[in-house]
Structure 1
Amino acid sequence: MTRIFYLLLAILGLSACGAGESPTGSTPPPSQSVVSQPESSQPQDNSSSQEEPMLKITVGDQELLATFAENSSAEEFRELLSQGPVTISMEDYGGFEKVGPLGTTLTRNDTRITTQPGDVILYQGNQITIYYGTNTWNFTHLAKINDSTDLQAKLGAGTVQVTFSLA
């Protein structure tokens, strides 16, 4: 009895494999026709994919948008900001950056880099810096300001209040 069951199962399985396939050289029936479109004209469903949040940096009436780096430190910073905005008193240092205490410590992913204007950097795990000039040291990259044109002027002179939040 079990042999018959397995034999029937094998026959049904083999017949199902060929179902809907057309012999080589013939066209599939209309219900199975496939219309291929150029990739650019195919509709894309982006409803299930979510855009990564952006970093918003507010200094006075200036709002700057930045793209988060891809590392665990940037992820921790994003998680911190998901609890609400963080305002830091930042001051000029060395003629190339604004720096201020974060008020907490994040995981460091330090690598030797040369900063560029618009880099948002974690220094020593508990300081946030925004570079408007360059500097080479072991830093953790947190984000990059999308438009760093006239960044030093946008950040203002002296000590300023800078608010970091999710956009």
Structure 2
Amino acid sequence: MTIQLQVNGRTFAATLEQNNTARALAQRLQNYGGFEKVGPLGESLPANDRQTTTHAGDIVLYQGDQIVLFYGSNSWSYTRLGRVNNLTGWADALGRGNVTVTFSLAE
């Protein structure tokens, strides 16, 4: 399943992992038609954390209720949600400081 992320006016497509956590996120997108979240989701998703090394473009769940969009690399315990398909402009779009990200199902 593919989702779209709007970051500071730029659109990125991401492919979701095939796991319960990614399906729960997609279900919330379907139920609400799109939403804006920065960091905390405001609710928990089912987590299946595993020690992993992330790379630019990885989308993961942290502590069950926070979405993390990587433009660098880190090793920690996360639940994988998906990955941005094309990283052209990704780091620039995330920029410095706070950003607003809108998630929606791709059409």
Q: Which residue of 2 aligns with 1:154?
A: 93
CA deviation string 1:83-139 (max 9, x = no partner): 2212013xxxxxxxxxx1011100001111100100001000000000000000110
1:72-111 matches, within 5 Å, as 72-83=20-31, 84-89=33-38, 100-111=39-50
Amino acid at match of 1:127: Q
4+ residue segments displaced more than 3 Å: none
Instruction: Report the alpha carbon displacement of residue 149 of structure 1 after superposing the two structures with TM.
Output: 2.9
Give me the whole-angstrom Cα distance separating, in 2, the residues matched to 1:65 and 1:126. Answer: 22
Give me the whole-angstrom Cα distance separating, in 1, the residues matched to 2:89 and 2:102. Answer: 19
Give yes or no for the alignment of 1:56 onto 2:4.
Answer: yes
Give me the whole-angstrom Cα distance separating, in 1, the residues matched to 2:75 and 2:88. Answer: 21
TM-score of the two chains, using structure 2 as the length reference: 0.93
Give me the whole-angstrom Cα distance separating, in 2, the residues matched to 1:148 and 1:116. Answer: 11
Task: Give the counterpart of 1:131 among 70, 74, 82.
Answer: 70
Q: Which residue of 1 aligns with 2:15?
A: 67
Amino acid at match of 2:60: I
Give me the whole-angstrom Cα distance separating, in 1, the residues matched to 2:82 and 2:30. Answer: 16
SS at match of 2:25: helix
Q: Which runs of 5+ in 1 are unaligned?
A: 1-51, 90-99
Instruction: Report the alpha carbon displacement of residue 57 of structure 1 after superposing the two structures with TM.
Output: 0.3
Give me the whole-angstrom Cα distance separating, in 1, the residues matched to 2:55 and 2:8. Answer: 23
Instruction: Report the alpha carbon displacement of residue 164 of structure 1 after superposing the two structures with TM.
Output: 0.6
Give me the whole-angstrom Cα distance separating, in 2, the residues matched to 1:143 and 1:120. Answer: 5
Higher helix share: 1
Higher strand share: 2
Q: Which residue of 2 aligns with 1:33?
A: none
Percent of pairs identical after alignment?
40
User: Superposition RMSD on alpha carbons, in Å?
Assistant: 1.0
Q: Which runs of 5+ in 2 are unaligned?
A: none
